[in-house]
A and B are shown apart, each in its own frame.
Chain A
């Protein structure tokens, strides 16, 4: 039998949501939510679990990932309990729960931990530069090597185990069923949602939301394309004109979209962009810095000025390392995978019912 545990609610508050206790269970949030339906009823259910502290039910649920935070629930909540922000916080909590290292939780709960980790990396890079270990050419070479190693390492050591943990919590533990054919049947869900986020289009039918979706879509594709361009086509050293131009386009697109996202979060005009957790700021700003610094580095390469303005490359590599070692494995980056895997696992669960 489920047991109440008020400590759980207090713990959740450290992930951002602070007002959900005001809920008086009217269900307006669930009624106005365009994504909630009879089979998947949220966000009130999630608010209720959080108020009562039913942590096992939260950990086993995929529903927080089914929400794309349009903010309608928060806008209509008569008690100002901010259910949308709670769903966001639950995603942060679940990210921490899936993470076997515990570092995700530490970083989400403590801004100071984030800052320390970032500073350590800056210190490392600056130290490495000061020690004159590498020559200019070596920096370029090892930078590229690092990128490849980081991708492989983070994926193998952190992300893959975490996705398996997610599967264990949300599929195996609640259903105790495993049929391989369902995993093949449902695979399209994973790919479609990973690359298109099409579900967020049903969030809200107005044009603003469609624009937001399009920007996000462009951002995801540009990010993946830039990753491919820099890692596998070695953009910074490439000579093929198509590769060089493509890199400019992708990094430029990342910079433009993320700049718009930062402006949105500063203006706070929509519910979606009203509440910004430190992890949100880090995610969007670092993505913006990546796009900008990569663009700048390649520009300096093309003008053969990189050697004289090497600090630009140092900034780029610092941003890159911070991104690859902190934000990707333990920060908001993971929502890219967890969301699409949630859709995938949800489909698997539904098939096995």
Chain B
């Protein structure tokens, strides 16, 4: 119980005092029990007043302070700092808002406004009288960061973190790094190849001693919290010794009798169960696809480096922060969507890009020369029926760029783009202009009247009611239909379950605030970068990865982390460990602990956000929130309700 409270009532120039009789407020609250001193001031936030407050607190040995002024969003930190400067614990400061809550909305009723102000200040006094001191929590940090996903975002983040001097563990689920970029031939708008970009990034990370790269490595478990995570990583073997001889390896490939669709080319080609990495994929080391390998032993006969004795292993990594850069999957159209898998010359954009990259002199699909190509836009994005309401951002540009590239590489191509409005934003607009000038044709329809792909007498026809030609029904005969598929979140991604980071309605990982905290998740210490957060192009992925790297670095920069604690507290004597609170906790902050001989619910302070979700579900009312105890809140309500 505080007995010497200082109360300051601010005029805010006239913002408050024009409508609230501040003198009357001072007189009224000055009589409250525990109030030692009550003053009015023209500007409470003014430097002179701040100095006076410090002097008052020291001279009169005040033990708590209330300032009645503007919104706490604006000046609560200011006055909290004033009380700290005077030697008080910052919990002994309570802010009363009599501007946004009183003078501004009640400017038409001065008497009522004054009355309301008195009640609000009284309730603040009631709270500050009951306030308990709180101390920040100190956490010892592991000065290392785990980066999940070695695509363009993950690699850039890893290299940026390592340059700041932090240990980085970079893990990649696949056996080759590079992610989606390694698939692409030439990238807009710099005309660099995916290989060039991946090579530069790989050189950066492999030459940096601070970075440890694990391929075939997957996160399978995590414990701990900000500054102090333990991540369990499962590492799959390659079944090929790292010192693989190129010649004998080539022999092993030709000896392998198993053929499976090649995911690298989005299944338009086949590869063996033992396969060579593509030039744009690193590290340059071979791998056996053990799922499809029949263990026939043919490869072992010609290649001594093959080693089926390698085993899966699990390691634990101690890190202070986790940066997630797991990327995206291209949307897979369902069977029959614009003829996909029903009409044999309907393919997706990634398949088309691989087809163009793999073809040399002629552009062929199933042995037939391609001249006329239709592109159906927004497949899997901006869906009317489906769940993907978002725009995938990159596809318009990529499609147009791919068509321009194809024109450079092959002759006699005609391109027909069936769009829902072209979104080649920024500098990418020039590509659209270029494509138009080349004679590429753009149609447009709205979501309620989409184009139709049909096959008649061995002819593939795309029909559209083109809104650019007063909705005239127009049909175009083509040799190949390319479905411009957007981005969707990675399939089989259980990272959000393991790390408990939320997903948005679009199923991508969610940031805290799209504009102001764009790379942080609600779990302190875990950041997100690149397309795992939502559709992004390379430039945007790199931007977000650099920003996530800096944010992750802020968690591991110092040996200790200091955290303000507004947390739930369990009264061990009342707790009967029913588990209701643990279930209600969205942050996994509650686990059973032993206190004395009794097992009770224990709250991990560094994980608890003080959201209060556990409070109402406790049948024993054994949980309180620091600074918002039942007693404090009840007293405040009593004061507000007093005549």
Residues of chain A whose beta carbon lies under 8 Å from any beta carbon of chain B: 1-4, 6, 9-10, 19, 21-25, 45, 48-49, 51-52, 54, 79
Contact = CB atoms under 8 A, between A and B. Distances in A.
Most-contacted residue by chain A among B416, B466, B468 (CB, 10 A):
B468
Given A49-B469, A52-B474, A4 B441 contact: yes
Contacts of A54: 469, 472, 474
A2 B437 contact: no
Contact of A6 (B432, B436, B439, B472): B439
Contacts of B463: 1
A1 B473 contact: yes
A6 B414 contact: yes
Contact of A48 (B416, B422, B437, B469): B469
A22 B474 contact: no
B245 to A, nearest CB: 53
Contacts of B414: 6
Contacts of B439: 6, 9-10, 21
Nearest to A53: B441
B132 interface: no
A10 B432 CA distance: 20
B438 interface: yes
Nearest to A79: B433
Contacts of A10: 439
Nearest to B463: A1
B470 interface: yes
A52 B475 contact: no
**Interface size range on B against A:** 20 to 34
Nearest to A49: B469
Interface string B433-470: 10011111110100000000000000000010010111
Nearest to B470: A45
A21 B434 CA distance: 10
A6 B441 contact: yes
Contacts of A9: 439
B436 A2 contact: no
Nearest to A51: B441
Contact of A21 (B432, B438, B468, B476): B438
B76 interface: no
18 contacts: A1-B473, A1-B474, A2-B472, A4-B416, A4-B475, A6-B414, A21-B436, A21-B437, A22-B433, A23-B436, A24-B422, A24-B436, A25-B468, A52-B441, A52-B466, A52-B469, A54-B469, A54-B472
A45 B476 CA distance: 19
A41 to B, nearest CB: 8
A4 B432 contact: no
Given A21-B436, A79-B436, A4 B474 contact: yes
A22 B466 CA distance: 18
Contacts of A51: 441
Contacts of B472: 2, 54
B61 interface: no
A48 B468 CA distance: 8
Nearest to A44: B468
B477 interface: yes
Given A45-B470, A48-B468, A52-B441, A4 B436 contact: no
B418 to A, nearest CB: 11
A19 B466 CA distance: 22
B422 to A, nearest CB: 8
Interface string B459-497: 000010010111011111100000000000000000000
Given A6-B439, A21-B436, A21-B440, 14 more contacts: A1-B474, A1-B475, A3-B474, A4-B441, A4-B474, A19-B437, A21-B438, A21-B439, A22-B433, A23-B436, A24-B422, A45-B469, A49-B469, A52-B466
A268 B576 CA distance: 94
